[in-house]
Structure 1
Amino acid sequence: MPTPTPAAREVGRRIATIRRARRMTQADLARASFVSLPMIKAIERGVRTPSDDTLDSISAALTVDPSHIVTGSTRTDSRVHASIPAISAAIAALDIPTDDPPRPLYELSEAVTQLTECRLGAQYARIAEHAPQLLTRSLAALHHGTGADRLRAAQLLAATARSADAVAYKFGHRDLSARLIDLMRWAASQTEDRIAQATAAYVRTETFFAARAHAQGLAALEQAIDASPSPVGRDTSAARGALHMRAAVIAGRADDSDAAEQHLAEARRLGDVLPEDSYEGTRFGPDSVRAHEVSVAVSLGRDHIQAALDVADEWTPPDSMPAERRSGFWIELARAQVWAGRPDEAFESLKVARFIAPQHTREHPWAREAAATIRRLKRADAESLTAFTEWIGAV
């Protein structure tokens, strides 16, 4: 019998931990991943190392990115970067109809929904794998569709472009991100759906964050709020509330505390009457507003960090919140804790962020900055800190 190696044991331990958290038996995981039960057992014992294909299958069944299982691996990084030319090619000829017959909309809709779930779960490798083909198929459906089918195809294209943008933006391909956002905005304009257009305005803010054009971004969001549908129902209230949350954060970056508080107060008002839910893939509700209170406080700078610490003292994101947003909360809290002179607490927050969404944490500049600062403050400290800073690229 093969002797387990430390690396294989660690991979097996992580798979078993995530499986139990999902309340799955080994047999359940075997069925969901299409991997034999003896193989699952051997992997969890550490006597077998999963191949790339097996790891992908297990990760998909557990709804996590492969990097959540093989934390030190750069597989996700390399697969994402390798997919960028294909994503770019898929949208290069967006205005040229193809001769390929479009897939049935119900099939396309199911695939786009799965891609959106990958985005919310920070499963970037899976997005990278499927986004090029889904962009091509969504464009084909739009070009060939008429009437209600064309409107639906435009919605699916906008959602696909948003998921692809999550990969491009998080991994530093800002030019491609801007092109995908333009595609999303164009597709949203074809839907005749003002909620889809509000969603596109929400995502467009990334271009202002990237350019550090925070005042202009705030102005654009306030225009989008004015153009959004009246908050008379659940979806329209969530659409406007999400825009107010985003406006509060970018107002903080613009050092406009009055605007930040006004938008945050409006988001609270709308969030208090809604259950935590999502519209078009954007989460909104009381918990999302609480998470953004930390974002706003950190965006406003060191003089406002107590507000972030106060939120964390009485509330933490529930497991039902999308992984990317939960991870972002802990990263922003770590930044506040570093500023407050609490490096030990900050390191614990970064470790929680990594556990929730490893690749999101690894690619986040604030996480890298916080880790580097903690390492400087505690240079002779635990080996685990050194390993973390090496993993995140802060040394």
Structure 2
Amino acid sequence: MPQGTEEHIGARIADYRKLRQLTQTALAQRAFLSRGCIAKVERGLAPATPSVVAAVARVLQVDVAVLTGQPYISELQQDRLDRLIAPLSDALDMYDLGPDSHVTPRPLAQLEQDVRELCAGACATQYRDIGSKLPGLLGELTTAISELPQGRDYQRAAASLSWCYWTAYEFAYRLGYHHLATIALERMGWMAEQAQDPLLLAVRLNKRSSMLLRRGDNKLALKVIERGHRLVEQHEDTGSTDALAVAGSLHLAAAISAAQADDADVVRGHLGLAREAADRIGRDVPDVYWASFGTTNVAHFDIAALVELGELGQAVKESKKLHFPESHPKMRVGRYYIEMARAYAQMGKPEPAERFLLRARKVAPQQARYHPLMRETIGTLVRRQRRAPESLSSLATWVGM
């Protein structure tokens, strides 16, 4: 059902806190947060940031999705995305059943091209296209690889199938189906092993660290990223653009993990190493292992880390220097706009916050519509104002509030 004004994350936190017979002070102490932070979040007067939600969920012993309220069934139905979940789930279950007699795979080169287009669609947040094309492509590749002997073509098919599972992860994760996303990520790792590609395995660990970070497990997320770096070191040319892009992305993920753990020194260290990798490449390479890596992404993550660390004024200052090239993935640009909206909302500046929310909707509408932080920031702005402007009310309706 649509999310009402009192059905925000903070209200759910308050409900579960009371069920656990905890005061706001007790919850704050156990989650290593301030009581004021808990009070504002519960009243909906401050956005419930990912780090806050993860910390509180851990104390309350509930899954993060219980507090964020995902998935949003009404909106999924309106966008005709709900009907795409079951076919994808079925396709993920066919991974070990061998060739399908009803499927005749096209030539491998055609399948590889379709996979590349699917990955590009994921970076452009084109969820409907992904959901409609992915199950069939999974079926073709699963049958194709079952009929291939070990060799170069087998590894190519395995790599393509692994990237299909990556897009399945992106699709399921962004729409709030985190259990399905976890399954897709496991399948990705299995096929990356068959492809014998250490960089592909490292990309999978990068995503795994994101899942851990969602649960607030910063330490384990950093360990997973360390394992990713060891895989990059197994690549035949660690100084290649491919290896540098994957390693740099791992450093950016580690910076966010450290920022959520409030460790500014570790953040700066990883950002510095990521910047070195970007400088060695010398340009943005958004489609190299679909890492969206380069100097632009490093600058983005620098700002995102400042927001996570609570250095909002510095984040706003640095944001003035950031300009996205036309080719930059919409997924990244949309996420940046949501992060800046959250920062301005926390600073008590509703007008720039709303501007960034509108930008997020314009550049990546499907991502914005289903992003919990987008909804939470809109709710914060609505509740802080005696009368919300028409543009903000329209945004709230659009996301289902």
Measure, in 2, the Cα distance between the counterparts of 1:81 and 1:294: 34
Kindly report which structure 2 residues correspond to 1:362-377, keeping only aligned pairs within 5 A, or say none.
Answer: 362-377=369-384
1:315 matched to which residue of 2? Answer: 322
Tell me the CA shift for residue 74 of structure 1.
4.4
CA contact (8 A) 2:218 2:260 kept: yes
Over 3 Å counting, the alpha-carbon distance change for 1:320 and 1:223 in structure 2 is: same
Measure, in 1, the Cα distance between the counterparts of 2:78 and 2:91: 20
State how many pairs are aligned.
320
1:163 aligns with 2:186: no
When normalised by structure 1's length, the TM-score is 0.77
Measure, in 2, the Cα distance between the counterparts of 1:319 and 1:341: 31
Measure, in 2, the Cα distance between the counterparts of 1:312 and 1:347: 16
1:261 aligns with 2:268: yes
Question: Per-residue displacement from partner, 1:228-256 (whole Å, max 9, x unpaired)?
Answer: 13631211111111111111112212333
2:121 to 118, 121, 124: 118
1:252 to 259, 262, 286: 259
Tell me the CA shift for residue 210 of structure 1.
3.2
CA contact (8 A) 2:238 2:244 kept: yes
Kindly report which structure 2 residues correspond to 1:43-192, keeping only aligned pairs within 5 A, or say none.
Answer: 74=75, 78-98=79-99, 99=101, 100-146=103-149, 147-192=151-196
Over 3 Å counting, the alpha-carbon distance change for 1:204 and 1:171 in structure 2 is: same
CA contact (8 A) 1:76 1:124 kept: no
CA contact (8 A) 1:165 1:181 kept: yes
1:272 aligns with 2:279: yes
Question: Per-residue displacement from partner, 1:175-203 (whole Å, max 9, x unpaired)?
Answer: 10000000111111111111111111112
Over 3 Å counting, the alpha-carbon distance change for 1:123 and 1:188 in structure 2 is: same
SS of alignment partner, residue 283 of structure 1: coil
Over 3 Å counting, the alpha-carbon distance change for 1:162 and 1:379 in structure 2 is: farther
Over 3 Å counting, the alpha-carbon distance change for 1:222 and 1:306 in structure 2 is: farther
2:198 matched to which residue of 1? Answer: 194
CA contact (8 A) 2:245 2:294 kept: yes
Question: Per-residue displacement from partner, 1:82-132 (whole Å, max 9, x unpaired)?
Answer: 111111111213112124443210111111111111111110000010111
Measure, in 1, the Cα distance between the counterparts of 2:358 and 2:270: 31
RMSD (Å), alpha carbons: 1.7
Measure, in 1, the Cα distance between the counterparts of 2:372 and 2:352: 19
Measure, in 2, the Cα distance between the counterparts of 1:81 and 1:334: 28
Amino acid at match of 2:89: S
Tell me the CA shift for residue 78 of structure 1.
4.6
Tell me the CA shift for residue 344 of structure 1.
0.6
1:337 to 344, 352, 359: 344
Amino acid at match of 2:142: L
Measure, in 2, the Cα distance between the counterparts of 1:305 and 1:142: 50
Question: Per-residue displacement from partner, 1:117-151 (whole Å, max 9, x unpaired)?
Answer: 11111100000101111111121222222211110
CA contact (8 A) 1:91 1:136 kept: no
> Could you list the runs of 5+ residues in structure 2 that have no partner in the other structure?
1-73
SS of alignment partner, residue 314 of structure 1: coil
CA contact (8 A) 1:248 1:261 kept: yes
Higher RCO, 1 vs 2 (CA within 8 Å, ≥6 residues apart): 2
Question: Per-residue displacement from partner, 1:297-320 (whole Å, max 9, x unpaired)?
Answer: 2222x2x22232122122232222
Name the % identity.
29
Tell me the CA shift for residue 212 of structure 1.
2.3
Question: Per-residue displacement from partner, 1:34-73 (whole Å, max 9, x unpaired)?
Answer: xxxxxxxxxxxxxxxxxxxxxxxxxxxxxxxxxxxxxxx9
1:40 matched to which residue of 2? Answer: none
Measure, in 2, the Cα distance between the counterparts of 1:175 and 1:152: 28
Question: Per-residue displacement from partner, 1:279-309 (whole Å, max 9, x unpaired)?
Answer: 1222110001111112212222x2x222321
Measure, in 2, the Cα distance between the counterparts of 1:76 and 1:291: 33
CA contact (8 A) 2:221 2:257 kept: yes
1:379 aligns with 2:386: yes
CA contact (8 A) 1:248 1:296 kept: yes
Measure, in 2, the Cα distance between the counterparts of 1:92 and 1:381: 46
CA contact (8 A) 2:203 2:228 kept: no
CA contact (8 A) 1:131 1:164 kept: yes
1:204 aligns with 2:205: no
Measure, in 2, the Cα distance between the counterparts of 1:261 and 1:226: 21
Kindly report which structure 2 residues correspond to 1:352-371, keeping only aligned pairs within 5 A, or say none.
Answer: 352-371=359-378
Measure, in 2, the Cα distance between the counterparts of 1:392 and 1:102: 39
Measure, in 2, the Cα distance between the counterparts of 1:185 and 1:143: 17
When normalised by structure 2's length, the TM-score is 0.76
Q: More deviation in 88-97 or 99-108?
A: 99-108
CA contact (8 A) 1:231 1:240 kept: no
